[in-house]
Structure 1
Amino acid sequence: MLNSAPMVRRAVAGVLGAGAVSGAVLFGVLGAAPASAQPVPQNDPPNCTAADFAGVASGVSAATSAYLFTHPEVNTFFSNLHGAPRAQIDAEVAEYLASHPQVEAELKGVRQPLADIKHRCGFTPTDPDGPDF
């Protein structure tokens, strides 16, 4: 079965990083300021702007794509989840990762920069993207 790139991206994004997209949008909206706004206070963590978050998220997305292209069996698994109900996807992913601990560790490593920026910039486990802690 041939899968289009957008379909694969949607499946991976839904399974691995739907929260990252909503967090980037939320962070971007909250971080957007009119041109006349005051500068960010110097005591805020460095490199925590919407642009920084988007840059890290795009790097994680590119690394995820590279990982999936170099691991066709994992790519096929995630690609075949397209269109399934969210509860079914969650259950199947949990089962797959439990039976493939190396894949789970590798994907966690790919996503680590996103977890790092969330931690450094003050996201908490109750934030929409918090479960990566």
Structure 2
Amino acid sequence: MPHNPIPRTSLRVAGVTAAAFATALLSPTAANADPAPGCTAADMANVAAGVAAQTSGYLFAHPDLNAFYTDLHNKPDDQVPAAVDAYFDANPQAHTDLLGIRQPLTDFRSRCGLTQPDRPLLGD
């Protein structure tokens, strides 16, 4: 059975999520105050896990999109945003679906005062 490495896209999403939360937790304002209810690291991990599980299910149910994201690791980093934009221009429903799946994380960040990450993997 061939080894299937974790796509860079998954690592980037996880890294951005962790970095955004760590940055928010280490900011002077956050260091002097308790986190808002429902805004702890555990809460974010819970939301991120749900988004990751739904994304996984969506990708398995849409093999063309799964293959597209998997193959992004073969592209130079500077070509990834244009490739993503082109894919979603041709597949707007997939873009809408993925934005919907990701919405709980967007809502969490907004509610908890965390900055939204750049989203080159969703082309917006």
Shift in Å, 1:58: 1.5
CA RMSD of aligned residues (A): 3.0
Distance 1:98 1:17 in 2: 25
What are the superposed Cα offsets for residues 102-125 of structure 1, whole Å, 9 maximum, x if unpaired? 0000000110000000110112xx
Q: Aligned equivalents of 1:122 and 1:39: distance in 2?
A: 13
| TM-score, structure 2 normalization | 0.76
Match of 2:111 in 1: 120
CA displacement 1:71-110 (0-9 Å, x = unmatched): 1010011111114222201110011111111000000011
Tell me if the contact between 1:24 and 1:54 (Cα under 8 Å) persists in the aligned partners.
no
The number of aligned residues is 117
Structure 2 residue aligned with 1:11: 9
Gaps of 5+ in 2: none
Q: Tell me the SS of whatever aligns to 1:7.
A: coil
The one-letter code sitting in structure 2 at the alignment partner of 1:46 is P
Counterpart pick for 2:66 among 75, 80, 95: 75
Distance 1:17 1:94, change over 3 A: farther
Q: Identify the match of residue 90 of structure 2 among 83, 86, 99.
A: 99
TM (norm. structure 1) is: 0.71
Identical-pair percentage: 38
Letter in 1 for 2:82: A
Higher relative contact order (CA 8 A, sep 6+): 2
Larger Rg: 1
| CA spacing shift, 1:13–1:26, aligned 2, 3 Å | same
Q: Which amino acid aligns with 1:129?
A: P
- 1:53, 1:117 within 8 Å by CA — same for their partners in 2? yes
* Unaligned stretches of 5+ residues in structure 1: 32-36
| Counterpart selection for 2:79 from 60, 82, 88 | 88
8 Å Cα contact 1:12/1:78 also seen in 2: no
